[in-house]
Structure 1
Amino acid sequence: MADKLYLIDGMALTYRSYYALSKANLVNSKGFPTGAIYGFFKSLLKIIEKDKPKYVGVAWDGPGKTIRHEQYEAYKAHRPEMPEDLKCQLDYIQKGVEALEIPFLVFPGYEADDILATFAQKGAQEGLEVRIVSGDKDLMQLVSPKIHIISFDRKGEVLEYGPKEVEEKFGVKPCQIRDYLALVGDTSDNVPGVPGIGAKRARKLLQEWGSVENILKNLDHLGSPRLIQAIQDNLDQLSLSLELV
């Protein structure tokens, strides 16, 4: 059996832990909030103890603006400021990760997604079984027999997505996720997509034509004048969405 590499989306797990335990109002004896800290390490240790991976890394967004911000000023611009009672816990989470001797994967100008993708693909090429712990839909495009995505449901139960599970959830193959999200948009990252194309229509288009590239080559065969017009009116937006996802 191949060795396992676990890659953790640090900020995604931090946010998830914060909101999952927000009602518990966990604080220490001095009144300092600890919910995100507790939830982060509970989830991290649960995964490590269950699968005992040989390698583990935690990826964080690098400082400064990324290439995506340069391409599209509104990228993630709608996201609210981090709550103060979460912000003050970040340093302790990072120190805790360091105490566990787990490497931080941080590079200026790069998002955690990009870092996770790079290390995941490199790990798979080296013959490792790679597991990415994240709830980010964008990363589903990486899924393969060697790379799986791990996330949590609302009850905190672990969910694992291989190629079969991705297709069951989205109705398209992992290699089509990028095109799927470019068509429907992604509100979590402020990716625009094509107005009027929802999940059902995007699935149908990709099941029939395979990719956005083939859809554009066969516009005259799509049948619906309204659909054709929507795509033609938003070609630049569609191209931008493909780059952002």
Structure 2
Amino acid sequence: MSEKKLLIVDGMALLFRGFFATSFTGNYMLNSKGVPRNGLFGFLNYFTDAIHTFDPSHVICCWDMGSKTFRNEMYDGYKANRSAAPEELIPQFDLAKEMVEAFQVPNIGVVGYEADDCIGTLAKQLQNEYQVIIVSGDQDLLQLVDEQIQVAIMKKGTGNYDVFSNDNFYEKKQLSPKQIIDLKGLMGDSADNYPGIKGVGEKTAIKLLKEFETIDRMLEERSSLTKGMQKKLEQYEEDLTISRKLAEILTEVPLDFSAETAVWKNDHDQIVRYLQEELEFHNTDRWLKKLSKELA
């Protein structure tokens, strides 16, 4: 295993999580210019905690670049059930990226692709040279777990992660990482608004994958299924096909990236200057203490 450790942060997940953790109170933490900062505050808590916890030598942050991607071209209804981002969150997107730049961490995003696809592409490109750790709240990313790729799912609170690796994956999920794609294909995803097979939940989907391993094999051997399931396949096979495609994270996004730009520098002076002067976060010790043991 490589001693070099590369942390890939799902910027969208951390910012949304930080925003909604505080917005329910109505406290958007406006600065002197009236700009909300509550999502940024939460992002900083999660971001610095991830660096403190996983002690990386390199750090990358990935973002969505607009609401439309190639998946919307594949399926009109993809994420169509999602409401627009709260107006208080909108100005915090660009500020979050600026803040990441102040940490001298590269922001990665490609128009037409989701952050997940950039994360998957980078993880697969770099897994031979680095121990890759992906931090997110999105369990879709579990399909990326591989040799030298771990996925740390954020749990309630700060500093609480469920870390998935090749060694513990089957014990935790009763499936292999690659089977997560077929699992979501069978179940669909109400959050992303794609259908799967109507009436098939997680328990049934896992049972089918344990028996057949893949959707392809299940379709080849459909005669061995119950009459009810055969009927469902006949009725929803088109939905199954598109759902499986939508569930799969693309790992060949056209991006040009050098890991040397991601070396974790931990420049306290630059970080403090940005947080205090640009964002008006004056009590920066809470974040710097988490970074104090890191590589200078």
TM range (shorter): over 0.9
Tell me: higher relative CO, structure 1 or 2? Use CA pairs within 8 A at least 6 residues apart. 2
Corresponding residue SS for 1:243: helix
| Percent of aligned pairs sharing the same letter | 35
**Counterpart residue type for residue 144 of structure 1:** D
Asked if 1 retains the 8 angstrom alpha-carbon contact of 2:50 and 2:135, the reply is no
Gaps (5+ residues) in structure 2? 248-296
How far, CA to CA, are the matches of 1:198 and 1:233 in structure 2? 16
1:98 aligns with 101
Cα separation, partners in 2 of 1:92 and 1:64, compared to 1, 3 Å: closer
Aligned length: 243
Match of 1:220 among 203, 219, 223: 223
Corresponding residue SS for 2:39: helix
Cα separation, partners in 2 of 1:176 and 1:12, compared to 1, 3 Å: same
Structure 1 window deviating more from structure 2 (22-31 vs 209-218): it is: 22-31
Asked if 2 retains the 8 angstrom alpha-carbon contact of 1:9 and 1:59, the reply is yes
TM-score (norm 1): 0.93
How far, CA to CA, are the matches of 1:135 and 1:104 in structure 2? 18
1:143 aligns with 145
Which structure is larger by alpha-carbon Rg, 1 or 2? 2
How far, CA to CA, are the matches of 2:140 and 2:206 in structure 1? 16
Measured after TM superposition, the shift of residue 26 of structure 1 is: 4.6
Q: Is 1:55 the counterpart of 2:62 in the alignment?
A: no
Measured after TM superposition, the shift of residue 88 of structure 1 is: 2.0
Asked if 2 retains the 8 angstrom alpha-carbon contact of 1:151 and 1:159, the reply is yes
- Write out aligned runs for 1:144-223 (5 A): 144-156=146-158, 157-222=160-225
Asked if 1 retains the 8 angstrom alpha-carbon contact of 2:31 and 2:37, the reply is no
2:262 aligns with none
Measured after TM superposition, the shift of residue 29 of structure 1 is: 5.0
Cα-Cα RMSD: 1.6
1:17 aligns with 18
How far, CA to CA, are the matches of 1:76 and 1:168 in structure 2? 31
Structure 1 window deviating more from structure 2 (75-84 vs 60-69): it is: 60-69
Corresponding residue SS for 1:144: coil
How far, CA to CA, are the matches of 2:31 and 2:38 in structure 1? 13
1:41-82 Cα distance to aligned partner (Å, 9 max, x none)? 111111112322111111111247321110101111111100
Runs of 4+, deviation exceeding 4 Å: none
Corresponding residue SS for 1:94: helix
How far, CA to CA, are the matches of 2:17 and 2:171 in structure 1? 24
TM-score (norm 2): 0.78
Match of 1:241 among 236, 240, 243: 243
Measured after TM superposition, the shift of residue 175 of structure 1 is: 1.5
Structure 1 window deviating more from structure 2 (26-35 vs 79-88): it is: 26-35
1:101-160 Cα distance to aligned partner (Å, 9 max, x none)? 110111121111110000000111x33111111122221111123111112212232221
Measured after TM superposition, the shift of residue 170 of structure 1 is: 3.2
Measured after TM superposition, the shift of residue 169 of structure 1 is: 4.1
2:272 aligns with none
Structure 1 window deviating more from structure 2 (82-91 vs 152-161): it is: 152-161
